[in-house]
Chains A and B, each alone.
Chain A
Amino acid sequence: DAGVIQSPRHEVTEMGQEVTLRCKPISGHNSLFWYRQTMMRGLELLIYFNNNVPIDDSGMPEDRFSAKMPNASFSTLKIQPSEPRDSAVYFCASSSLTHEQYFGPGTRLTVT
């Protein structure tokens, strides 16, 4: 079975540009999570969805960040405008009723 799919794997952009990260969860999973990982702050939960509905977005750093899940097989995380401090690895994870989350390979974002 295919795992969680994320694209792109690497993104380099200039400050002020819009960045869109994409995620396809494992088929049949009803929860989807977006995380950010940096050396300084470790792994941070940004937002999560249950049955396509955002449940908790308290981890979203500021209004420049937004996330959508238009259907059960696709989610996006958008940063507009991007800033150098947004540079990090962004992970998407999904889970079902078995509780454990399965992580994608991540998107390494560099904002110059």
Chain B
Amino acid sequence: AQSVAQPEDQVNVAEGNPLTVKCTYSVSGNPYLFWYVQYPNRGLQFLLKYITGDNLVKGSYGFEAEFNKSQTSFHLKKPSALVSDSALYFCAVRDVNSGAGSYQLTFGKGTKLSVIP
């Protein structure tokens, strides 16, 4: 079974400060990891993914995430937060060993990010 934990329901950060949204995962094999963002009244929007390779992954809108296998974490980061980054952020995982043809992702419960002007 695969699972994702986002330990913070809400993160508040001042505009211009660095932000971190935390995610830890559990899989039986190697993970594929994803971050999505959801703005109010919109669908989830893909930000970035880790499949293999460099542990630091860069994505859309200046976001990046660091894969840490020993800590089973995949935290989302941005060096300088913008007010427009305020949204709901979801971490998701897929177990590489979940079977051929199976692309089911398991999503975390989401973290609400508020960037304060």
Q: Does B44 contact A (CB under 8 A)?
A: yes
**A95 to B49, alpha carbons, bound, how many Å?**
13
Q: How large is the interface on A (under 10, 10 to 19, 20 to 34, 35 or more residues)?
A: 20 to 34
Contact A105 B42 (CB under 8 A): yes
> By the criterion of a CB under 8 Å from any partner CB, how many residues of chain B are at the interface?
20
Q: Does A104 contact B (CB under 8 A)?
A: yes
Most buried by A among B42, B49, B105: B105
Closest residue to B103 on the A side, CB-wise?
A: A31
Q: Does B34 contact A (CB under 8 A)?
A: yes
The interface of chain B, by Cβ under 8 A from chain A, is 32, 34, 36, 42-46, 49, 51, 90, 94, 101-105, 107, 109-110
The interface of chain A, by Cβ under 8 A from chain B, is 4, 31, 33, 42-43, 45, 48, 50-51, 55-56, 91, 93, 95, 99-106
